[in-house]
């Protein structure tokens, strides 16, 4: 597939204390943890949310790779539902020394611009801070971090900062990307 080279800015943000979290107003969405490891569900959320934003790093993962990732102790997927329909998700990735990365976060396109992202991020950050309550072998969370880039949705950085995440690093790298994002149904033509 032909590609182009473009400069991509990546912003790294963090919270160092649960008190850093600035909650967004709640919405009518139900936000629920997916407690059953189900690679099909995670791959659906990943491609449906990220297809418009060049999320391509996991598209080639096998079923086994997805399962191995999701079975790691402390990995959690939180899903926002609007009237029973998946609207977005957040994936928490526990790391050493009490750190938790919000590895993936986003909404399906029909749910953008409705205030749902702030509520979902509030819940995701809260669940990152209390992760050790659900995983007793983990150290208490000391830092929650995430990153976003210039290829992500235009409201992403503003949402993260509005929830109390502080910028701690910025990088610009040239990347080779397809001319168009893969869309929510990668490979379908």
Phi, psi values for residue 162, rounded to 5°: -65, -25
Please check whether the domain covering 3-178 is classified as CATH 3.40.630.30. Answer: yes
32, pLDDT greater than 90 = yes
pLDDT of residue 73: 95
**pLDDT tens digit string along 99-153?**
999 999 999 999 999 999 999 999 999 999 999 999 989 999 999 999 999 999 8
Domain spans in the chain, listed from the N-terminal domain onward: 3-178
In degrees and rounded to multiples of 5, residue 165 shows phi and psi of: -75, 135
Arithmetic mean of pLDDT, 79-93: 98
Q: What is the pLDDT of residue 188?
A: 63
Say if CB 12 and CB 160 are below 8 A apart: no
Which CA distances in Å does 133 have to 74, 119, 128?
Answer: 10, 21, 10
Rounded Cα–Cα distance for residues 158 and 105 (Å):
14
Q: Compute the average pLDDT of residues 55-70.
A: 95
pTM for the predicted model, two decimal places: 0.94
């Amino acid at each position: 597939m032909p590609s182009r080279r473009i400069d991509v800015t990546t912003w790294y943000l963090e919270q160092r204390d649960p008190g850093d979290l600035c909650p967004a107003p709640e919405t009518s969405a139900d936000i629920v943890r997916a407690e059953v490891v189900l690679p099909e569900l995670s791959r659906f959320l990943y491609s449906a949310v990220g297809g418009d934003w060049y999320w391509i790093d996991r598209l080639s993962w096998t079923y086994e790779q997805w399962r191995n990732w999701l079975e790691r102790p402390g990995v959690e997927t939180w899903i926002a539902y609007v009237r029973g329909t998946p609207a977005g998700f957040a994936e928490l990735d526990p790391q050493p020394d009490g750190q938790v990365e919000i590895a993936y976060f986003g909404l399906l396109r029909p749910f953008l611009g409705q205030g749902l992202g702030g509520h979902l991020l509030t819940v995701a950050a809260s669940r990152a801070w209390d992760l050790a309550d659900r995983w007793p072998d983990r150290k208490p969370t000391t830092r929650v971090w995430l990153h976003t880039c210039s290829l992500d949705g235009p409201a992403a950085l503003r949402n993260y900062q509005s929830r109390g995440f502080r910028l701690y690093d910025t990088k610009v790298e040239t990347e080779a990307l397809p001319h168009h994002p893969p869309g929510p149904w990668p490979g379908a033509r």
